[in-house]
């Protein structure tokens, strides 16, 4: 695969990689760096890229693994620093007129999920992947994906209902 092929087949995946990285790392800058890292990894194996059935699946698996590595490397003090940074970064995002409290509630609810279920619900409901594709990226059985997805969706519903009733009581 040459640079031209790379630019037309791999480069357009940038937004999908970015969205998944941001979902997992919850930081814009780190997610941007991770996109580069994924591209560099794929460029390194460009000779073998034609052997893969789906470049998108490969890119997503690479993103997933790199994100999990990054999360594992994080330590407690970094975590608390991240919270502050996340807060600052998110101000701009939440100032957007269409980004209401309710949407922020969904985001918060999603962040309480485990890494695995967060990834699954992201791939399904935001990226629109088939179960088969999610199973390939996650390295799971299709059935297990379906069960995890259902559990994640119900958990979010639960959290949103609780939050709503809590706010209602407070008002």
Q: State the CB neighbour count (10 A cutoff) for residue 17.
A: 25
Residue number with CB closer to other proteins (47 or 51): 47
Which position among 79, 130, 132, 141 is part of the footprint of other proteins (CB under 8 A)?
130
* Owner of token pair 């490397």: 73
* Owner of token pair 């709503």: 164
Q: Coil, helix or strand for 51?
A: helix
User: Per rule CB under 8 A, is residue 32 in the interface with other proteins?
Assistant: yes
Which of the 8 DSSP states describes residue 11? G
Residue number with CB closer to other proteins (14 or 86): 14
Task: With beta carbons less than 8 A apart as the criterion, state whether 18 and 35 touch.
Answer: yes
Binding site for other proteins (CB under 8 A): 3, 14-15, 18-19, 22, 28, 32, 35-36, 39-40, 43-44, 98-100, 102-103, 105-107, 124-128, 130, 146-147, 149-150, 153-154, 156-157, 160-161, 164
């Amino acid at each position: 695969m040459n640079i031209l092929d790379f630019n037309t087949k791999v480069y357009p995946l940038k937004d999908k990689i970015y969205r998944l990285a941001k979902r997992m790392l919850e930081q814009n800058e780190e997610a941007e760096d991770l996109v580069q890292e994924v591209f560099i990894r794929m460029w390194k194996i460009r000779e073998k890229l034609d052997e893969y059935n789906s470049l998108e699946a490969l890119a997503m698996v690479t993103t997933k693994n790199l994100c999990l590595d990054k999360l594992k490397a994080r330590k407690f003090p970094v975590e608390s620093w991240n919270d502050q940074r996340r807060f600052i970064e998110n101000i701009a995002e939440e100032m957007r007129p269409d980004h209401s409290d309710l949407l922020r509630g969904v985001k918060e609810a999603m962040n309480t999920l485990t890494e695995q279920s967060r990834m699954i619900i992201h791939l399904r409901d935001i990226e629109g992947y088939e179960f088969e594709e999610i199973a390939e990226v996650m390295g799971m059985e299709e059935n297990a994906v379906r069960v995890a997805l259902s559990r994640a969706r119900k958990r979010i519903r639960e959290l949103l209902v609780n939050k709503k009733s809590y706010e209602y009581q407070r008002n």
